[in-house]
Amino acid sequence: MSPLQSIAAEPALEPALSTTARRPGHRLARLLCVLMLVGGLAVATVPSATADPPPARPIPNWFGRDQVPHYVGVPHTPNPAVGTTPPQHPYMADNGANLMHGDSYESGTHTASGPLGIDPKVRSSAFAPIGGLCAAMTFDSQGRIVTVCGSFQNFTLRLLDPVSLGQYAAKTLPQRSTTIQALLTLDLSKIFTDTSGGAYFYLDHLDRAVLVDAAQRFRVIRLDESGPGPVWVDDTVIPLASHLQERDCFSFPDNLFPSGRCDAITTVMPDWDGWYWWVSRLGIIGTIDPTTGEVRTIDLGEEIQNSIATAPDGVYILSDHAMYGFRRALDGTPEVVWREEYERATAPRPGQINLGSGTSPTLIGDDYVAIADGDDPINVVFMNRRPEFAGDRTLCTHPVFTAGRSATDNSLIGYGNSVVVENNYGYRDFLTLLFGGAVVGGLAKVDLVDDGGGLFHCETAWTSAERSPSTVPKLSTSNGLVYVYTKNRGPGLVDAWYFTAIDWHTGQTVYKVLTGTGWNYDNLWAPMTIGPDGTGYAGVFNGLVSVSDQP
C-alpha cells in the first residue's frame, strides 16, 4: 500500500468536469447522439478477470471491403534511423511502452522494429456497441497491453493480451460529464474537444497505471494477481478538484445549464525525482509530493490541452500562448524558468482544438524542444530548452503545408535533428469522413541545421501526400519506418482505412494494409503504437486493431 493511501481515502464520486465547444449542425450528428444515449447505456458490463483472455470480438466492417485493395506495396528492408534514443525515465515503464507518445521526451519513437509488411495479419477487438476507442497503449513487464478505452458509457482501464486482444481485467473509470452533456444537447464536439478523463495516463516503473480520472482524482492503480485472475485495485487516490478555480461544471441532473467556466485536469507525468506533475485545461499547474501527498499549484492563466514532457533538466509545458520550461521550487511549487511565445491562430480552424499549438512539446537530445505553432500555414518551431540559456530561444520557424489548409493537433515525431509533422486540417470527429470523404492530408519531415556560431536554419527534408486525418504518428528507429493511419477518397461511398508505413529517410510510402471499412475503423485522434514484440497497433473508434508480420 502506498503511504499516500492513509491520507487520501477515496471519496464519493464528484461531478466530472466539462468544456465548451462548437456545435456540428447536420442531422446525422443529432440522430447519432440519440442512438448513443439509448444504446450507450445498454453496454454490457465488463467481464470478470480470467486466467486466459477470452477471444476478442472483431470490429465489424461496413460495405465495400471487397472493392478496395487489402495490401499495397512491398515488404521493407530495415534501414535504422540515425539519432540518440531518449534516456530511460527512472519512474516510468520502459521507453516505447510507458505512455501515448512513447517516452517522457514525447519523442514519438519506439526502438522495437514494427511490422515490415511481410504477409501482414490484421486483428481487431471491439469494446462497445458504439465507441470503445482505446486512446493510448502501454505494455507491462510481461508484455501485456495496458490501455484506457473510452465509450459513450464510461472510460475503462483494460489489461489485454497483445496477440488475441482478449481481455484479462478491466476497471471502470468515471464518465466525463461532457459525454452526458453532448448526448443531451446533441453536440458531439463537447466530447471530442475534451482531453481529460484518463486518456493521458502513463505506466510507471512498477507496472501501475497513473492518471487523473473524470472526477478529478489522482489515482495510482495496480494489478492484484493473487487470485485466479488479475484485478485492478487503487494504490493511491488523492482528490484534486478543490485545487481548481473554475468549477461551474455541467452535472446531471443538478446543473444542466452552467453559466461559468469549468476546468478539467488533462495530464499527469512524473519528473525525474518522482514528483507527480499535473495540468488543467484552464492553466492550473500542480505537483504532488510522492511521500506526503501534499499538493502545490500555480495558475498560469493560459489554456493547456496537450501532454507535458519531462527530462533530467526540467519539465516542459506548452500552453495556447507560449512554450515553458519549469522546475520545482524548494517547497515543491512549480516555478517558471523560461517562457517563449509563438504565433497563434487568429480564428478557429478544423483540425485543432484551440487557437494555440496542437502539439505536445517534443524534446530532442540535450538542447532542443520542438513544437508546431498556430500560424497559417503552421510552422515547425525549434527552441533551445537549456535552463541556463539566456538568448533568443527560437532557433528557427519553418512553414509546412498550404495556407488556409494546414493544422495539426498531434505531437511531432522527434529523432536526431529532425521532426515529422502531420496535417490534420479538416478533421473533427468520426462523422467527418463518412461515405468516401477525405482530408487534405500530407506529412513533412523538417531538419534543424546547425550553421555554426549559434545560428540555425530549418529545411524540409521530404513531404508525403499520404492522408492521415488524425493519428499520432510513430517512428521505429530500428527499421526506419514511420507509421500512420490513412484514408483516401472513396471509391464511391466506401470508407477504407489503412495501416501505412513511410520511409523515414525518403518519405516514400512503403506499404499499406487494409484494417477495415466504415466509421468503426476511424482512428479518432488515437496513436500508432509498436509493441515490444514488433506488432503495430492503432486505436480506432470501436476499439483496437493490430497488424503483425507472418513468418
Q: Can you read off the three cell numbers belonging to residue 83?
A: 539519432
Strands 474-476 and 109-110: parallel
Structural contact between residues 244 and 257, judged by C-beta atoms closer than 8 angstroms: no
Instruction: Please give the C-alpha separations between residue 323 and each of 342, 359, 454, 511, 544, in angstroms, as whole numbers.
Output: 8, 11, 20, 36, 33
Q: Is the pLDDT of residue 208 over 80?
A: yes
Going by pLDDT thresholds of 50, 70 and 90, the confidence category of residue 46 is very low
Full DSSP string of 373-384: -SSSS-EEEEEE
Structural contact between residues 463 and 448, judged by C-beta atoms closer than 8 angstroms: no
CATH of 5-548, one of 3.90.180.10, 3.40.30.10, 2.130.10.10, 3.40.640.10: 2.130.10.10
For residues 322 and 211, what is the distance between their CA atoms, to the nearest angstrom? Answer: 25
Residue 219 contacts by C-beta under 8 Å, 6 or more apart in sequence? Answer: 209, 210, 211, 212, 213, 234, 236, 237, 238
For residues 106 and 533, what is the distance between their CA atoms, to the nearest angstrom? Answer: 21
pLDDT at 353: 86
Q: Give percent of the chain above pLDDT 70.
A: 87
Averaged pLDDT, 9-26: 34
For residues 185 and 219, what is the distance between their CA atoms, to the nearest angstrom? Answer: 30
Q: Can you read off the three cell numbers belonging to residue 112?
A: 522495437
Q: Is the pLDDT of residue 494 over 80?
A: yes
For residues 470 and 428, what is the distance between their CA atoms, to the nearest angstrom? Answer: 9
pLDDT at 189: 64
For residues 485 and 540, what is the distance between their CA atoms, to the nearest angstrom? Answer: 10
Q: Considering only CA atoms, which of 60, 58, 77 is closest in space to residue 480?
A: 77
Tens of pLDDT, residue by residue over 328-383, are 999 999 999 999 999 999 988 898 888 999 999 999 999 999 999 999 999 999 99
pLDDT at 194: 65
Average pLDDT, the chain: 89
Q: Considering only CA atoms, which of 211, 167, 221 is closest in space to residue 2?
A: 221
Q: Give percent of the chain above pLDDT 90.
A: 75
pLDDT at 7: 34
Q: Is the pLDDT of residue 88 over 50?
A: yes
Tens of pLDDT, residue by residue over 523-548, are 999 999 999 999 999 999 999 999 99
Residue 128 contacts by C-beta under 8 Å, 6 or more apart in sequence? Answer: 40, 43, 151, 152, 153, 542, 543
Full DSSP string of 105-116: T---EESS----
Q: Is 95 strand, coil or helix?
A: coil
pLDDT at 43: 38
Structural contact between residues 393 and 370, judged by C-beta atoms closer than 8 angstroms: no
Phi/psi region, residue 60 (left: phi>0; alpha: psi -120 to 50; beta: rest), is beta
Q: Can you read off the three cell numbers belonging to residue 252?
A: 446531471
pTM value > 0.85:
yes
pLDDT at 259: 77
In this predicted model, which residue has the larger pLDDT, 131 or 35? 131
Averaged pLDDT, 148-153: 84
Q: Can you read off the three cell numbers belonging to residue 363?
A: 524534446
Q: Is the pLDDT of residue 428 over 80?
A: yes
For residues 19 and 16, what is the distance between their CA atoms, to the nearest angstrom? Answer: 10
For residues 521 and 535, what is the distance between their CA atoms, to the nearest angstrom? Answer: 18
Q: Considering only CA atoms, which of 181, 224, 179 is closest in space to residue 198?
A: 179
pLDDT at 70: 98
In this predicted model, which residue has the larger pLDDT, 17 or 87? 87
- The DSSP element (H or E) to which 145 belongs, if any, is strand 145-151
Domains of the chain, by residue range, sit at 5-548
Tens of pLDDT, residue by residue over 434-467, are 999 999 999 999 999 999 999 999 999 999 999 9
Q: Is the pLDDT of residue 21 over 80?
A: no
In this predicted model, which residue has the larger pLDDT, 194 or 433? 433
pLDDT at 11: 33
Averaged pLDDT, 193-215: 88
Tens of pLDDT, residue by residue over 244-301, are 988 777 777 777 777 778 898 999 999 999 999 999 999 999 999 999 999 999 999 9
What's at 427, amino acid-wise?
Y
Question: Is the Cα dihedral 502, 441, 465, 408 positive or negative?
Answer: negative
pLDDT at 109: 98
**Which strand ranges, in their side-by-side order, compose the sheet holding 322-328?**
309-311, 314-318, 322-328, 334-341
Going by pLDDT thresholds of 50, 70 and 90, the confidence category of residue 159 is very high
Q: Is the pLDDT of residue 483 over 80?
A: yes
pLDDT at 51: 59
For residues 451 and 466, what is the distance between their CA atoms, to the nearest angstrom? Answer: 31
Q: Is the pLDDT of residue 12 over 50?
A: no
Question: Is the Cα dihedral 103, 106, 107, 112 positive or negative?
Answer: positive
Going by pLDDT thresholds of 50, 70 and 90, the confidence category of residue 186 is low
Q: Which residue has the cell 485495485?
A: 233
For residues 475 and 501, what is the distance between their CA atoms, to the nearest angstrom? Answer: 9
> How far apart are the two ends of the chain, measured CA to CA in Å?
44
Going by pLDDT thresholds of 50, 70 and 90, the confidence category of residue 193 is low
Q: Is the pLDDT of residue 5 over 70?
A: no
Structural contact between residues 309 and 315, judged by C-beta atoms closer than 8 angstroms: yes
